[in-house]
Structure 1
């Protein structure tokens, strides 16, 4: 009986010991560099925004915050890597609508569970897409592109560097617009193809496209309303496709099991960064819209809704993973 009693006491003490260990970890956190995984190549919109936040977070935490690109399989490789990382707050991932809301509906085996393998920390930015063309195509508006595509079936190709870009294309094609996809590994490759006039049309984020607006012609943004920083580029919804809205997003996440205290510390610092006027200005200049503030419960519910909504759109559009 005595040995059983001692065993019971030891087992009962385990949750308390774990809580004390987690608390101690949070108090000393961070004491070495933090890594934020990006599941896309350098130059992609997620990469651009994450580097801004990494610099700000490093200053706030008085510790190094580095960015590590792990691209491949439309974000699945890097996201699976982050899902398997030790949940101690030293490996995070900048989740994206592609990896955490669209890929689960596109692929049978993506190597991770978008809901069960991650704990969200904070939504950082909404990322409108932009439809751009090479100047030699000779169109100035989205209706002109649609008219051209209908007059030249099977002739107008579109460069796509992401699954969100593919979703935009599929939704436009459903309006009897015969545009055809050419898929690329990332924004850099897709933009090179457009600039070289190998492909006449590109759908990508504003963030990844904006630097080339002097050499390419932006026709429309995919947000419901015009962007704060680019009011002259009219939304798709105002150019004949009423109700059209597709906006990508980013959210900082941690592997499931990361101590609550650590996640709360990160969330607190990130909310302070997001509340800075200079952050809103920087995001607008980069081609983003700041995400609205959400507490943990709201963030979890919003992410679940995004997964469900995107899955329904993907199924109805008949999108397939290549």
Structure 2
């Protein structure tokens, strides 16, 4: 009798075994369906008041509404964004720590910094590109120039003229202008954009390259004077502002800052795809667009694969930009 019961038990186990792979395969999808079930942290590598911070706060509110969970912005400025990047790279790959960042951490830092505590490709999963942050060249209103050509002439008669920066785009743009125009510019780095703007407005530093999102309010208020955009084409958000490349001797000047969302490496694909769907909706939303445009942010979406390809190409591009500008890593 006992042997009969054992045989029946073994038969039952063997009948059940083929179904196990199906159950195991279904587990990740079930986990993704349950995501998210607690608040999400959106890390930003720049201070409150920066362009990226402003875009992140709109995105966090919209994403939270779409997912039914709070999305909390966590500002971690410092070390040119490397502090925040390292934090996210070491976070659990569960979709509850996300990173809204720019070309500073993922395109420029590998060439600007001798030691980097993270790998911009291997340590992150690209989730969604959100758009571009156009940059403009601004000066203190007391600087007696009306355009880029006059600024170059003024700088040549005032060797060592300084420029402030709060991110990599500001650093590389200033160095590139100095090299192409043949002028001696002194770089004054800041931890983030807001304090850099404060000193330009106060006249402590005469000029800087600032993203439109962070600087447009001060330009409209007359606290800073905008001379040009850093892109090869005019920005649809600032159609009256000429490209720097239109100035004689500066043809080919083209520097663009991009914005996107990453997750730690090895984040499950179903979670990445869910986040991409919601973020792409936000970037393309007609209701949200006016709020982004008011910040000077050009929003549009990309798939994770498209964003991954773009990030790889931008790393190559910014390596060349930094080298051509003659910037030595620090």
Both proteins in one fold, TM over 0.5: yes
Distance 1:13 1:253, change over 3 A: farther
**Cα distance in 2 for residues equivalent to 1:177 and 1:37:** 37
Partner of 2:274: 265
**In 2, Cα distance between equivalents of 1:289 and 1:144:** 29
- Mapped to 2, the partners of 1:169 and 1:266 lie a distance apart of 36
Cα displacement string for residues 129-185 of structure 1 (whole angstroms, at most 9, x for unaligned residues): 11111111111111110110112212x111111111111011111120222211111
Correspondences of 1:1-322 after superposition (within 5 Å): 19-154=25-160, 156-175=161-180, 176-213=182-219, 214-240=222-248, 241-291=250-300, 293-322=301-330
What SS does the aligned partner of 1:195 have?
helix
Distance apart, 1:15 and its partner CA? 8.2
Contact kept, 8 Å, 2:111 with 2:329, in 1: the verdict is no
- Are the aligned partners of 2:276 and 2:304 in contact in 1 as well (CA < 8 Å)? no
User: SS of the residue aligned with 1:135?
Assistant: coil
1:105-124 deviation digits (Å, cap 9, x = unpaired): 22232111100111111100
Unmatched segments (≥5 aa) in structure 2: 1-17
Q: Alignment partner of 1:174: what SS?
A: helix
119 and 137 in structure 1: CA distance in 2 versus 1, 3 angstrom threshold: same
Task: Name the SS for the 1:136 alignment partner.
Answer: coil
Specify whether residues 16 and 314 from structure 1 end up closer, same or farther in structure 2 by C-alpha distance, changes over 3 A only.
farther
Contact 2:131 2:283 in 1 (8 A): no
In structure 2, the CA distance between the partners of 1:17 and 1:194, relative to structure 1 (3 Å rule), is farther
Tell me how far 1:302 sits from its aligned partner.
1.0
Conservation of the 8 A alpha-carbon contact between 1:228 and 1:284: no
> Residue 15 and residue 39 in structure 1: after superposition, are their counterparts in 2 closer, same or farther (change >3 A)?
farther
Structure 2 CA distance for partners of 1:139 and 1:63, relative to 1, 3 Å: same
RMSD: 1.8
Q: Which runs of 4+ in 1 moved over 6 A?
A: 12-18
Task: Give the aligned length.
Answer: 309
Compared CA separation, residues 280 and 312, structure 1 to 2 (3 A): same
1:18–1:114 Cα change, 3 Å: farther
- Segments of 5+ residues of structure 1 without an aligned counterpart are 1-11
319 and 19 in structure 1: CA distance in 2 versus 1, 3 angstrom threshold: farther
TM-score normalised by length of structure 2 = 0.89
1:303 Cα shift?
0.8
1-structure distance, mates of 2:298, 2:272:
24
Change over 3 Å in CA distance of 1:26–1:144 after alignment to 2? same
Worse-superposed segment, 236-245 or 48-57: 236-245
Counterpart contact for 2:175–2:325, Cα < 8 Å: yes
Which of the pair has more CA radius of gyration? 2
Distance 2:20 2:88 in 1: 28
